[in-house]
Structure 1
């Protein structure tokens, strides 16, 4: 059997919406020869509803419960890159479970970049239903920054191509693994 050299066999990506968790996660999984799961898409498949429809018809509290159940299940898996929803890591129970499972990588981008990226598909972002989406992004980022800072590793996606970001994450994961965390 061929043994694949990789720094870790499980990693979660967190950060605000629009920082690139899904696209980068998919490429990171490919580079590490791991499975990839986007948590929001996973919940949508389980429920047969989009995240926006879950928020609209069942409420945010129901979505957050479904999210917590999915985190509990998926944190027990191995050989996985897990891309979290922007609010997943905010829940203290999710955060504790993910940090204990580790490593968790926080991805970062500026509010302007995030607005540009999420404006491409505005219907998919129920948290941005606001007369001033930029102000809402800034407000939510201020609230969430101290929480995202608790992740093990931090990588900026600002003005960078996906392969460059993936390469940095892998280098940082090797350092993480070498430190015996």
Structure 2
């Protein structure tokens, strides 16, 4: 086994021990890489990856775009909140959420109680280049999609910043971003566990 493989195994063991089965939830804008990074992260940690948008489409029997057209955004968001709440009860998963899911205050509170959240943060140029490759983004079907995207970022980024961990999604391989997520998780979970270890030591003494 190479030194890098040993380090990965040690990181995985650390993360899984400290999470004790809690979900890892990826939040961020459309195009941030939640699905591609999430799949690589899950593979690396030996977890199952779930995409909340795919679960919504499966339950509804139609695409996100068609759901928006048929029912409007408010009803879609209510259904999204119910699906995310259900998926948070799945043990040992990496959950990729839609861009608007974390904007729901009840969903944020539930994620905070039951999971560890990671914001994949990307700048406007990176996001717009990625989302421009696909035409199935209902929120961007406007006269000026770049300006619409910027407006969404201005609204959502202060809320995304409430996530437990922030990792920069940039134009590198998604494996590298997944590795950055692992390193950030190890640091965050270790820092959260340190006070508990100190209390146990003090109690034992």
The 5 A counterparts of 1:25-104 are: 25-104=38-117
Shift in Å, 1:162: 0.7
Higher helix share: 2
Task: Calculate the TM-score normalised by the size of structure 1.
Answer: 0.94
The alignment's C-alpha RMSD in Å is: 1.2
Match of 1:110 in 2: 123
**8 Å contact from structure 2 (residues 165, 184) kept in 1:** yes
Q: Structure 1: which 5+ runs fail to align?
A: none
| Distance across 2 between alignment mates of 1:6 and 1:166 | 16
Match of 2:13 in 1: 5
| Distance across 2 between alignment mates of 1:20 and 1:137 | 16
**8 Å contact from structure 1 (residues 112, 134) kept in 2:** no
Give the secondary structure class of the aligned counterpart of 1:59: helix
1:164 to 2:172 alignment: no
| Distance across 1 between alignment mates of 2:48 and 2:168 | 23
The structure 2 residue matched to 1:132, chosen from 133, 144, 157, is 144
Shift in Å, 1:176: 2.1
Moved segments of 4+, more than 4 Å: none
Q: Structure 2: which 5+ runs fail to align?
A: 1-11, 194-205
| Distance across 2 between alignment mates of 1:19 and 1:42 | 19
